[in-house]
Structure 1
C-alpha cells in the first residue's frame, strides 16, 4: 500500500470522526472557526474514500491476475466481517439502551438487510441508512464491486469501458425499478471512476515527475473549489474533483511520506475507525450526561477509545482474515474504507 494513500485514508477517517463528534455532541451549533469548518467540510472524507477506493481497486486488480470470483471473495472477506461485528454490537446497544445512538432504530428485518448491504429505509425515518448509519457508503462500495466483478469477465481492453458503462447504468437504470433502488441514483458513485482514471494515469507514471510546487498548486485549487462550493453535498464536481486533485497531489509526493509510520498505522485502522466511532461517541456522551464529565475529557476519552477499538479490530479481525485469504489466492488489497 502506498504511504501517501495510507495517510489520506487516515485523514479521511478522522475528519469524519470530528465531523460526527460535532453532530452527535452539539448538533452543529458551535460557532468557533474550526467547528464551523468541520461542520461544513468534514463530510468530504467520504468523497475522499470513494476516490481512493476506485484508485486502489483498479490498481490492485490490474497488477494481479485475479479471477472474478477470487475478486468477489476477497472483497467480501475484506469488508463484511468487521461490518457485521459492529452492526451486531450496535444492535445490542440499541436493544439494551434504546435511543442512546440517535437517528437509528433496531428492527429484525432491517437488521438483516443492513448485514447484507441491502438499502432499506431506516425505521427512525432518516432515509436509506443502515443500522450502522455510516454503512450507507458501504452499500455503494458493494455496488461498485459488483460492477467491477462483471467487468472482469471481459477481455482486458474492454474492462474500463465496461466499468464506466456499468457505473452509469447503476445510477441511471437501477433507480427506475423504484422503491429502495432509488438509493443508487446518487451521483457520488461517479467518484469511483475518478479514482479509476487516476489509477490509469498513475500506472503510466503520469505523476512521477510532478514538481512540489505543482502538487501544492493542486491542493490550493482543491481547497478553493471546496470553499467556493460551500457545505459538502457529496457532489462529484464540488467534492469529488477536489478529492481527486488531493489524491494526485499526494501520489506525486509519495517519496516524502516514507517515514510516517504512525500515520500508516492510522491508515490501516481507518476502516474500523469509520465503523466504530459513532457508537463510541454516543456512549461517551451518555456517560457525560450522567456523570457531569467535562466535555474536554469526554472528547479525549472518545478519541482514545476509537483508536484502541480500531487497532483491536484491525489486528484481531481484518489482518488475520487478510492473511488467511493470501494463503488461498492473490489478494487485491484495498477498499473504500478498509484498504481504500
Structure 2
C-alpha cells in the first residue's frame, strides 16, 4: 500500500495556519484578552479559524487508521509515542521557559504544572495546560485509545463496522446523553474522526454506497455539532458567526477529503509537501502563548503589522528548526529504544515506519 498521501501534509499545514490566525488575529485580543495586540484587519475572517481543529481531527481519522491498518498493538503504541511526545516535550519546555521569564503578569506557570504537562495527561489530572492549544491533544489521545482497543481485539480490519457502530452511538447520545459514554466516544468530535477514517477506507478500497452513506451521516452530525456550539461561542466571544459560512467551511473539509480519497487531486497529489506537514505539529504546539507573550512584550513599540507577520514568520522558522534539529533525531532514538524494549519484529517495525510521520 502507498505509504504517504502527499495532500494530507498540505492540508495539515492549512489547518494549522487557520488555528494560528484564529489565535493571533481574533481570540487573543478581540475575545479572551490574552494579548495586547489588536488585528482587526483579519479578525472577521480569522474568527472562523477555530474550525482548523476539526479539520485536524478529520486528518487524524484518516492517517491513524492508515497507520493502524499496517500495525499490531506494540508497533502502534511505539508509533504514537515516538510521533507525539518528542515535539511535545520540546514545546512544553520552551513554553514553560518563556512563560516563567517573560509571561508575567498575564501568563504564569509552576514547575509542578510543567512536569504534569510533560505527561500529556494533565487535563486528566486537572493540571492547567501550559498552552491553550494542548486541549485538542487530549481529544486525540481518546481517539487513539479507541483504535488501540480495535487492535487489542484484533478487529482493525473490521474498522468499517466499528465506524458505523460509533456513528450510531454518537447519534443516540445526542438524543439521550450519557456523560461517561459521551466522554468515551468523544461525541462532540466523533463525526470528524469517523469522516476521516471513512475517507481512508475509500482511499484504500473504493467508494461504495455504504461508505458514501457513512460519510453523509458523519457530515450531518458534524454540521449539527458545530452549529449547536455556536450560541455558547457567540456568548463567550461577544460576536456573531454566519451559519452559512460555518456550513460551507465544514462541507469543504468533507469535499476535499473525499477528493483525496478518490485520488482526484491531480497535481497536488504528485507534489511532496513533507516539509509543511513536518512543521505543522511543532507550530501548533508553540505558537499560541509564546506568540501572545511576544505581542505583550513588543506592542505598541513595534508596528502591529510588522509584529503580527514577523511573529508568524518566527514561529514558522522555530517550528521547522524544532523538527529538523531536535524532534526528528529524538523521535528516531525514542522509536529505536521502544522497539528494543517491546521487542517488535523487523517486519512490523518497517510497516510502521512508513507512517511514522503521520
**Unaligned stretches of 5+ residues in structure 1:** 208-217
CA distance in 2, matches of 1:139, 1:115: 13
Matched, 1:89 2:90: no
Q: Is the 8 A contact 1:284 1:302 kept in 2?
A: yes
Which of 21, 35, 44 aligns to 1:18? It is: 21
Q: Alpha carbon RMSD of aligned pairs, Å?
A: 4.0
Q: How does 1:152-301 map to 2 (within 5 A)?
A: 152-156=151-155, 157-162=157-162, 175-176=179-180, 187-206=188-207, 231=241, 242-251=252-261, 252-258=263-269, 260-261=271-272, 263-289=273-299, 292-301=301-310
Match of 1:142 in 2: 141
- Once the two structures are TM-superposed, the CA of residue 89 in structure 1 deviates from its matched residue by 2.0
Q: Is the 8 A contact 1:198 1:248 kept in 2?
A: yes
**TM-score, normalization by structure 1:** 0.74
Matched, 1:58 2:65: yes
Which of 43, 49, 62 aligns to 2:50? It is: 43
CA distance in 1, matches of 2:332, 2:6: 20
SS of the residue corresponding to residue 27 of structure 1 reads helix
**TM-score, normalization by structure 2:** 0.70
Match of 2:119 in 1: 116
CA distance in 1, matches of 2:144, 2:132: 20
Instruction: Give the direction of change, closer, same or farther, for the CA distance of 1:294–1:139 in structure 2 (3 Å limit).
Output: same
- Once the two structures are TM-superposed, the CA of residue 305 in structure 1 deviates from its matched residue by 0.9
SS of the residue corresponding to residue 302 of structure 2 reads coil
- Once the two structures are TM-superposed, the CA of residue 264 in structure 1 deviates from its matched residue by 3.8
SS of the residue corresponding to residue 78 of structure 2 reads helix
Would you say how many aligned residue pairs link Structure 1 and Structure 2? Answer: 304
CA distance in 2, matches of 1:142, 1:206: 28
Match of 2:324 in 1: 315
Instruction: Give the direction of change, closer, same or farther, for the CA distance of 1:24–1:282 in structure 2 (3 Å limit).
Output: farther
**Unaligned stretches of 5+ residues in structure 2:** 32-37, 209-215, 231-240, 340-348
Match of 1:214 in 2: none
- How far does the alpha carbon of each residue in 1:125-149 deviate from its partner, in whole angstroms, 9 at most, with x for none? xxx8622210111111111111111
Instruction: Give the direction of change, closer, same or farther, for the CA distance of 1:15–1:248 in structure 2 (3 Å limit).
Output: same
| Residue range with higher mean Cα deviation, 104-113 or 146-155 | 104-113
Match of 1:132 in 2: 131
SS of the residue corresponding to residue 144 of structure 2 reads helix
- Once the two structures are TM-superposed, the CA of residue 191 in structure 1 deviates from its matched residue by 1.5
- Once the two structures are TM-superposed, the CA of residue 301 in structure 1 deviates from its matched residue by 1.7
Q: Is the 8 A contact 1:24 1:281 kept in 2?
A: no
- How far does the alpha carbon of each residue in 1:188-236 deviate from its partner, in whole angstroms, 9 at most, with x for none? 13321111111111112439xxxxxxxxxx9xx99xx79x957499xx9
Instruction: Give the direction of change, closer, same or farther, for the CA distance of 1:185–1:2 in structure 2 (3 Å limit).
Output: closer
Instruction: Give the direction of change, closer, same or farther, for the CA distance of 1:323–1:148 in structure 2 (3 Å limit).
Output: same
Q: Is the 8 A contact 1:52 1:195 kept in 2?
A: yes
- Once the two structures are TM-superposed, the CA of residue 24 in structure 1 deviates from its matched residue by 5.8
SS of the residue corresponding to residue 42 of structure 1 reads helix
CA distance in 1, matches of 2:318, 2:242: 28
SS of the residue corresponding to residue 257 of structure 1 reads helix
- Once the two structures are TM-superposed, the CA of residue 274 in structure 1 deviates from its matched residue by 0.6
Match of 1:99 in 2: 104
